[in-house]
Amino acid sequence: MKVQGSVAFVTGANRGLGEQFVRALFDAGAAKVYAGARDPGKVNVPGAIPVQVDITDHESVRAAAAEAQDVTLLVNNAGSTTRADVLGSDLASFRKEFETHVVGTLAMSRAFAPVLGRNGGGALVNVLSVMSWISIPASSGYAAAKAAEWSVTNALRVALAEQGTQVTALHVSYMATDMVAHLTGPKAEPAMVARAALDGVDAGLHEVIADDVTKQVQAALSSGPEALYPQLAGRPALV
């Protein structure tokens, strides 16, 4: 799968990382880019084709797939956060996280899988997170959903291999977007992250690890809870 000459569909394409994906796709030579958004009027990248899609509305997802029958690259980027914490938030906030990141991503993947298959296999990119591998109490709803989305991504990778669809997972820590504008500390540039993900597609990578914090967390996965959560022993947290 090569990005150059591809026909791409990006969800959540009206701002943040999604908008940078659209720009990076054109820079990499994509032939056409559908820019999916709940409000397509907010898509502002010249040349992009705005498409109305709400990934939590399955009829909307099916309509988007029916409109974009020439897609060879799907980027499941759309997401949000309720900032649901593990003890104090209502369960509805947790359900919203799962409806968006797990069920919504799965709905898009299911709707576009036949399209990708008919067009030669193509590729699918799921935007995950360092939170797929580590949780913090204040954002545990988001982390739990991203962990489940990682599992779904792994299942999709195996299920779609027979039709020749490449599945790439993007794992990244905090980025300079509206979602984490309230947080301080180092943040990756979304434009750089989008380029890294597309380079990973071109290279046939199953996973793209976009920043040093995420690399550190991934390396700690096999070492047990004490490595992932050093605060249990009174040391600074990884995230």
pLDDT tens digit sequence for 130-167: 999 999 999 999 999 999 999 999 999 999 999 999 99
Distance of CA 123 to the CA centre of its chain: 13
What pLDDT shows up at residue 201?
98
For residue 20, is pLDDT > 80? yes
Q: What is the pTM of this model?
A: 0.94
Residue 174: predicted pLDDT: 82
pLDDT band (50, 70, 90) for residue 6: very high
Query: 3-state DSSP call for residue 127?
Result: strand
Say if residue 181's pLDDT is above 60: no
> Average of pLDDT values for 193-198?
97
Q: Which long-range contacts (CB under 8 A, 24 or more apart) does 209-216 make?
A: 209/171, 209/172, 210/170, 210/171, 210/172, 210/173, 211/130, 211/172, 211/173, 213/130, 213/173, 213/174, 213/186, 213/238, 213/239, 214/130, 214/133, 214/171, 214/172, 214/173
Tell me the residue length of the chain.
239
Give the H or E element holding residue 36.
strand 32-37
Q: What is the pLDDT of residue 58?
A: 95
pLDDT at 183 over 90: no
The whole-number average pLDDT for the span 223-232 is 93
- The Cα 181–Cα 79 span in angstroms is 15
Contacts for 91 with CB less than 8 Å, ≥ 6 apart: none
Provide the pLDDT confidence category of residue 177 given band limits of 50, 70 and 90: low
DSSP strands (E only) in 173-239: 207-209
